Structure 1
């Protein structure tokens, strides 16, 4: 005879909230972390091999522009298309496909014999990379308890800067021994191995399965890996802090009147963050050199800027306990101040080095926290689309950032003035997040998933 509790619907988010973070959830976290780590490695790989291409193929630096930018356009295209697909087909399916695509394309890139072939394959690699990251963020977020969601999602996202940095060290060691093609071979083989591992171990998001009314047996089988207490559950429901809307697609949710203002503000904040990042990462060595630094010192000081992304874990902890919009808005406001101060410190090498590192640490931390914020903002039916469109539209901010400084230097603007202008997007990003908070008031623990509305799964 069944007990009463076995006939009561089991709320999947309450289940995740009331059980410790299990080994199975750590496995999911680890797989998604590896996806983002390899995403960072493969995104940065072209920059590490570019000098070797110039030397071996005898091409001019301007001729490399299409190769260097192809992946950026692929990243945007992959992100914009993958979210709607994941909200329709599932996070697991699209994530597996994206890892296979960027692994296979990167591996094939190691066998090209022309810039045209490499450009095409870098674009395809970018499509896979752009699709992988938002789905890794979404899947991780949907297996987290509310109280740790931002911290764990941010920790997973730290794989990207670590992968990019680790790739630099590996490339410096591998290229002299085996040539530039070896970097692309490694960047292809490892994702393909990870694809095989994920094929047999990575589950679908249980929140997505409940939202889509998938069979109870499949949902129960996954949750039983977290805790055996779910073994007798006969049905499942999903509570959403964010109410569902009458939309036929993920993009319909993101652009619905209920979510439109928040979506636009997230896009604006992520766009402006990447304006700052790419403006500085691409131009600081040149600006410092023109301000009187030796080329070697200019490069070393500039290299400090992208090192601080691991601070996103601390921001995640704050986001789980305080208002996440205001925490990240403060981060962008401090970024603007720090970038402005960099422009005032030329000639004082000690303070300049410190401020470049501080600016990078705060900027990368704030930027790396936005995917977790977006994942918490949308309901399950539009979460993958919401995260991926923010990332995809933000990519164009990277392109804009590079052109911004080029225009400022063309107009003979001085060193301090350039940094003052580049600081402005930080203030715009902060303002955008405060507008989002005004339009969609949030308090701690209403940003992740417990709360307002419940829907039942089809128990077939």
Structure 2
């Protein structure tokens, strides 16, 4: 996913989000079905690597397209819903895989692959292109048709967005005008990934050490993802009202307080379950919402590149978190101490959020009122 995000996702900025999404979803289907034909561990790994690469190219462009099509006052909420789809799909897989596996392990890949191919066809028939990319490429006729289709009014209501590199590249987010925004966005997103994956990877080990049964530990660990879905949607309702800094700082402080409280709250299912819902759900929820916040830092011409860059660099945090947790486990620290250690990257994220107000935002690409979309009025 990291490879696809940084190498292929920027192509959406250059050639359009619609063709890249349609092609990559089709390639995901082909690679998924191809996995079922693997006759060795090496072949299996190659097919999964290809699947992840195309997923890494697809997700940043899907996020970028929603960011451009969504009304401004509902943008963060809609983007968070899209991000929640990844977690919801992971939960759904737990219910879908067992009956598919009853028909043999290849069915786990054949059936989803075929459904993904149908999705690619639906995208080809129904998915619109980014209005701002149509404007930037001078395709006024296509923009007019799309504006009428989406109820956005005349194409004349759109104005050229802020200047950006004529040929966006994977390094466009590091250009001078966007370097600080990238430092803030990618820094918070990576540190948050460190916290999230440190928890998710080691809770099944830490909780039994605290005295919980293995099945209880599994249920408690599931609260991280489930709580993230709820928390992400809750945070988005405040973020859409323009309270970005206050909302995210309060969320991180609540997570830090919950992580420290493991040292004083009795080790019960209810007590520690509540703390995990706040701490794990908070970290997971902010991870979903932060992607939505980051989309406002860049103009449309480099949005896929910026999101792809963030996703790729965040893989560093996704690797560092479990490694750091492994060192603590090897040192045989107490469960409460392990959880308290996660406070360090969490508070670093809160400090990073304080820099968000200093990020220079790009022009939205539309003329001022009263020419805005009615949904943004």
Give me the TM-score of the superposition, normalised by structure 1. Answer: 0.75
Deviation for aligned residue 1:273? 1.3
CA contact (8 A) 1:211 1:238 kept: no
Does residue 203 (structure 1) correspond to residue 203 (structure 2)? The answer is no
CA contact (8 A) 1:250 1:386 kept: no
Cα displacement (A) at 1:340: 3.1
| Contact 1:283/1:405 (<8 A) preserved | yes
Paired with 2:365 and 2:259, the residues of 1 have a C-alpha distance of 35
CA distance in 1, matches of 2:175, 2:247: 26
Bigger mean CA deviation after superposition, 317-326 or 160-169: 317-326
Q: Which runs of 4+ in 1 moved over 3 A?
A: 245-248, 250-253, 342-346, 446-452
User: What RMSD in Å do the two structures reach over aligned CA positions?
Assistant: 2.2
User: What CA deviation, in whole Å up to 9, does each residue of 1:319-338 have, x standing for no partner?
Assistant: 12123244223323322322
Instruction: Name 1:381's counterpart in structure 2.
Output: 301
The counterpart of 1:182, out of the listed 96, 107, 111, is: 107
Within a 5 Å distance, the mapping from 1:205-224 to structure 2 comes to: 205-214=130-139, 216-224=140-148
Partner of 1:83, secondary structure, is: coil
Cα distance between partner residues in 2 of 1:448 and 1:217: 21
Secondary structure, aligned partner of 1:170: helix
Count of residues in Structure 1 that have an aligned counterpart in Structure 2: 367
After superposition, residues 380-459 of structure 1 pair within 5 angstroms as 380-437=300-357, 439-440=358-359
Quote the residue 2:159 is aligned against.
238
> Matches of 2:340 and 2:220 in 1, distance apart?
19
Q: Match of 1:321?
A: 241
Displacement after TM superposition at 1:195 (Å):
0.4
Q: TM-score, normalised by structure 2?
A: 0.90
User: Unaligned 5+ residue runs, structure 2?
Assistant: 369-377
Distance 1:447 1:146, change over 3 A: farther
C-alpha contact (below 8 Å) 1:245/1:256 kept by paired residues: no
Q: Find the counterpart in structure 1 of residue 37 from structure 2.
A: 111
Deviations 1:99-145 (A, max 9, x none): 11222111111222221111111111100111111111111111112
| Partner in structure 1 of residue 374 of structure 2 | none
Change in CA separation of 1:236 and 1:441 when aligned onto 2, cut-off 3 Å: closer
Aligned partner of 2:192 among 262, 266, 273: 273
1:329-365 Cα distance to aligned partner (Å, 9 max, x none): 3323322322333454462332011111222322222
Counterparts in 2 of 1:75-224, with a 5 A limit? 75-175=1-101, 177-214=102-139, 216-224=140-148
Asked if the contact 1:106–1:121 (Cα under 8 Å) also holds between the matched residues in 2, the reply is yes
Unaligned ranges ≥5, structure 1: 1-74, 453-460
Tell me the CA shift for residue 251 of structure 1. 4.3
* Partners of 2:14 and 2:167 within 8 A in 1: no
Contact 1:267 1:394 in 2 (8 A): yes
